[in-house]
Amino acid sequence: MKELLAEKLKEIVRNHLVSDGKVEIDGLGTFYREHIPAEEERTPDGSTILHPPKEIIRFKQQSERESL
């Protein structure tokens, strides 16, 4: 039962992040998407590696003061 609940919660959060970009859960915090732009990295031998842009999910915990 716990696994099913966790899976459904994960699915709901994922769907809302895709559509709205942000999910707030009272008493817990906020999940949000963050865009990471493409980056170039130089290796010690002088070659260049290109890291593509990506979207990541961040979580900001609600402070105790906000939850009161």
Domain that holds residue 16: 2-63
Q: For residue 68, is it within any domain?
A: no
Residue-wise DSSP of the chain? -HHHHHHHHHHHHHHHHHHHSEEEETTTEEEEEEEE--EEEE-TTS-EEEEPPEEEEEEEEPPHHHH-
Q: For residue 59, is it within any domain?
A: yes
pLDDT digits (tens, 9 = 90+) for 51-64: 999 999 999 998 87
Q: For residue 18, is it within any domain?
A: yes
Specify the number of domains making up the chain: 1
* CATH code of the domain in which 49 resides: 4.10.520.10
Length of the chain: 68
Q: For residue 24, is it within any domain?
A: yes
- The pLDDT value recorded for residue 14 is 87
Q: Estimate to the nearest angstrom the gap between the alpha carbon of 7 and the chain centroid.
A: 17
What pTM was estimated for this model as a whole? 0.66
Q: For residue 15, is it within any domain?
A: yes
Q: For residue 57, is it within any domain?
A: yes
- The pLDDT value recorded for residue 1 is 85
pLDDT digits (tens, 9 = 90+) for 6-56: 899 889 888 888 888 899 988 889 999 999 999 999 999 999 999 999 999
